[in-house]
Chain A
Amino acid sequence: MITLGHTLSGKLNFPRRVFTSYYNSAIYRTFKEFCESIHQALQRQNIKAPVYILKADGGTMSLRAGEKYPVNTILSGPAASVMGGQAFLETFQDAVFLDIGGTTTDIAFLADGVPLFEPLGIKIAGFPTLVRALYTVSIGVGGDSKIAVENQSLVIGPERLDRPMALGGKYPTPTDAMIVLGLMDIGDKGKAVSAMEEIGQFLNLSAQDAAKKVLDKMADIIKDKVDELLDDINSHPVYTVKELLYGKKIKPRFIQAIGGPAKALAPVLENRFGIPCIYPKIYQAANAVGAALARTTAEITMFVDTAQKTLSVPELGVYEEVSSTYGLEEARMRALDLIKEQSRLLGAKDDEIKAEIVEASCFNMVRGFYTSGKNIRIRAQTKPGLIYHLWSDKNVSS
């Protein structure tokens, strides 16, 4: 399978383009087999509905389109969670999004209600790529994390060794702490209490106090990481005076949590972060909801050089001639048409295409001391969104 790097992304970054193309070719065969199995399975069941596959950017594409660009489907799980959260949320505020699972917690952010993207693309097995993705960071702390006491202090994660003790596991976990505190009603409470007693022993605390301490520690770990990520995001490079002086800084106003321990941890997180923490009614299954409702997405990059009279969109293989008076407004219109076309090719239905210009710049090119033309660059997308919302099943405040 030969992948042409420029068709995967028009963004400038040669090493990333190489890694992305490599991955695309490397998984091509496996992905194709997977697609064929899916098609056969659906045929056997006589299911004729169109099939979409999730991408890391929180959107979908048709399974057929996926066969050409399988690399875009890698690491789509965390993105589904974020989209699931969106289904239950109607907001224009900044927020932290947490998907608290058994082994890990995924952290994402909303800026004015919209999920944040990776600036260029995700890293896959240590190699940076141009795979468009929602910004999510995973940390090794979850309901089933290992709890240990080292030098009189509590350590949670990063590994998961077993199920919680209340569910027949061998080691104490945060889930046991939640059960002890009555925040969760599963498994054998007696076993959960002995788990916390085991921890309490090292810290000279009762089972109850040890359980509280475990959840506080868990909230600390999450809060520290969120603060670190926010620092990083808020100091992302800017290239204009306007952005440097007045650029957007993300200040979360609330937390939205999903995943098994979300409900139990909400009050603890609220306390630690000092902002409200909400969770959807079906917090355990938000990820699946996101996957089911995600809309088709696409992105293109357009370059216009009016001195050379060329317009190109590498992702689509579009190379056209334009007049020397071609302007930014015309380019924007053309980009919107092309992104709609691309979205249709990827499987979007006309009424669900929400095309927008993400970036547009226009520079005068001066050769010698005269303006010789314009250099226009545009990035357009159909942004991630949902086919419909479940706002009647809105979030619950803790």
Chain B
Amino acid sequence: MLAAKHRLGLVFFPAFDWAISPSHPEREERLLYTQDQIFEEGIMDIENIKSYNPLLASKKDVQRVHFCVPDVDERVTKSHLISAGGAIKAAHVVMEKEVDKAFALIRPPGHHAQRVVYGDRGFCIINIEAIMLENIRAKYGPMRTAIVDTDCHHGDGTQDIYWNDKNTLFISFHQDGRTLYPGTGFLDEFGGPGAIGYNINIPLPPGTGEEGFLYVLDNLVMPILDEYKPDLVINSAGQDNHYTDPLTNMNFTARGYAELNHRLNPDIAVLEGGYSIEGALPYVNLGIILAMAGLDYSHIQEPDFDEEKLKQSPKITEYIKRLCENIHNRWKQKEQIAQEVLKGRDYIIRERQVYYDTDGIMEYQTQRFKICKRCSGVNTIESISDRGMPIFAVTIPLDACSSCIDEGYSTYKKADVQKYFKVYLQDRPSDTFLTKSI
């Protein structure tokens, strides 16, 4: 019988009874054909491939990452807790060394969910990778981690969550924000004051194909990862760079995704977007499974695959080459850039508007990061949505020094409950979460 070279854990949870709405791309049937493909290929009979059911993520798991307005119970459904719990299960079996790698094929996705959650954006409410990562950091201790997001949309939620954390390097490949939702993910989004340079965006032009993706991986991502030396590599495996995806304009292939996964060699992959449920998902998911298991994926080919049609234009190839040089140079100069940005400042203010496209909510946010020499610095978010509900949130980061911890608590105490709908304190070192309101 066929045996996988790497022991692979699969959390396959298609949630056949959950949808945003009956004809929404994020609907019951999304992983049906992927399931057919996995079953028909006999994947679950392969030696060293083991399947697991999701856990149910807890409220505490969510609160390590998010400020849900008004609270977790109100914003987050059981389906979301299962999706996050699926990612957590995948990470646990890797951490416990039951398997070498794990792939969580779960839905709904999460990479557009930011720290504050007023509603659903980009089909995401809670950030499943972040919830997974913070769960295992709480359980197994600190971990230097790289998250490589290969979804076609910018992983703006994950960027926001790890904006100021240099122990989490976030790299996002995506279609240029000038041409696609969520409209962010440019080079100058380079990380908060405690982590300048550790947020890397790679906005690719529409029409990028196999050649371009693998070029970026080999010439930019891998050299940066070699330098960063993460303990753990997580792949946010969105599959909408595929040439059949209805929402995007890229030319990537199933075999290309498998090749990318093979070269990136992540410990954990978590499914994100990808809405070509018949034309792409069965083949891309199969490719990733085979690549992670160390099995031959060279024969994976979509029925309508046409090499000539998917060939990348020389203009795009040239553009990507220059883009990679540019980004790599910025990475090499991150210390100088940080010095210039931080010079003579005690804190950095970041004003933003966040649009929740799925729910049609606009949020107005001010993030304030303390610049601290001993840690990544206590920080706060003041926010209000166009439906009201102003909040104030304090985060004491995991690596906080004692004075930042004290400052976090005093800022929380001083916050005026009359002024806000709710005030939050996320104390990561002691893994506690407090709220107050009138």
Contacts and interface: CB of A to CB of B under 8 A. Distances in A.
Interface string B1-31: 1100000000011111110001100011100
B326 to A, nearest CB: 37
Given A13-B45, A364-B22, A375-B29, A244 B54 contact: yes
Interface residues of A, number: 28
Nearest to A127: B1
Interface stretch (A63-71, A142-150, A232-240): A232-240
A16 B40 CA distance: 9
Contacts of A369: 23, 246
A370 B52 CA distance: 34
Interface string B60-87: 0000000000000000001100100000
A23 to B, nearest CB: 15
A241 B17 contact: yes
B53 interface: yes
Contacts of A128: 1, 42, 45
A132 B131 CA distance: 41
Contact of A12 (B17, B40, B52, B53): B40
A57 B18 CA distance: 34
B59 to A, nearest CB: 16
Contact of B12 (A16, A237, A365): A237
B23 A237 contact: no
Given A237-B12, A239-B16, A244-B82, A363 B28 contact: yes
Given A237-B12, A244-B13, A12 B36 contact: yes
Given A14-B41, A363-B29, A375-B32, A239 B23 contact: no
Contacts of B27: 364, 366
Contact of A16 (B45, B54, B82): B45
Interface in A119-142: 126-128
A169 interface: no
B224 to A, nearest CB: 37
A242 interface: yes
A120 B56 CA distance: 27
A366 B27 CA distance: 10
B319 interface: no
B17 A240 contact: yes
A2 interface: no
B15 A241 contact: yes
Contacts of A16: 42, 45
Contacts of B40: 12-14
A369 B35 CA distance: 22
B46 to A, nearest CB: 9
A16 B43 CA distance: 11
B142 to A, nearest CB: 31
Interface residues of B, number: 31
Interface string A223-264: 000000000000101111110110000000000000000000
A15 interface: yes
Given A237-B53, A363-B28, A366-B27, A15 B246 contact: no
Given A12-B36, A14-B40, A371-B23, A366 B29 contact: yes
B34 to A, nearest CB: 11
B430 to A, nearest CB: 31
Contact of B78 (A241, A368, A371): A241
Contact of B35 (A11, A239, A364, A371): A239
A114 to B, nearest CB: 23
B23 A364 contact: yes
B305 interface: no
Given A126-B1, A237-B53, A238-B53, A15 B29 contact: no
Given A15-B45, A241-B82, A370 B23 contact: yes
Contacts of A235: 52-53
Given A127-B1, A245-B78, A364-B29, A240 B45 contact: no
A93 interface: no
B23 to A, nearest CB: 5
A255 to B, nearest CB: 27
B214 to A, nearest CB: 30
Interface centre among B39, B42, B79, by most A CB within 10 Å? B42
Given A126-B1, A369-B23, A239 B13 contact: yes
A361 interface: yes
Contacts of B36: 12
Contacts of B15: 239-241
B51 interface: yes
Interface in B306-335: none
Contact of A239 (B1, B14, B52): B14
A29 B182 CA distance: 65
Contacts of B79: 241
A244 B41 CA distance: 25
A365 B30 CA distance: 10
A215 to B, nearest CB: 35
Contacts of A241: 15, 17-18, 78-79, 82
B23 A15 contact: no
A199 B400 CA distance: 65
B1 A244 contact: no
Interface in A9-32: 11-16
A365 B29 contact: yes
Contacts of A364: 22-23, 27-29
A12 B27 CA distance: 23
24 contacts: A11-B39, A12-B40, A13-B39, A14-B42, A15-B45, A16-B42, A128-B1, A128-B45, A235-B52, A237-B12, A237-B53, A239-B15, A239-B16, A240-B16, A240-B17, A241-B78, A245-B78, A361-B16, A363-B28, A363-B29, A363-B32, A364-B29, A368-B246, A369-B246
Interface of B: 1-2, 12-18, 22-23, 27-29, 32, 35-36, 39-42, 45, 51-54, 56, 78-79, 82, 246
Q: Which 6 A-B pairs have the closest CB atoms?
A: A15-B42, A363-B29, A12-B39, A12-B40, A240-B17, A240-B16
Given A15-B41, A237-B12, 12 more contacts: A13-B39, A14-B42, A15-B2, A15-B42, A16-B42, A244-B54, A363-B28, A365-B29, A366-B29, A369-B246, A375-B29, A375-B32
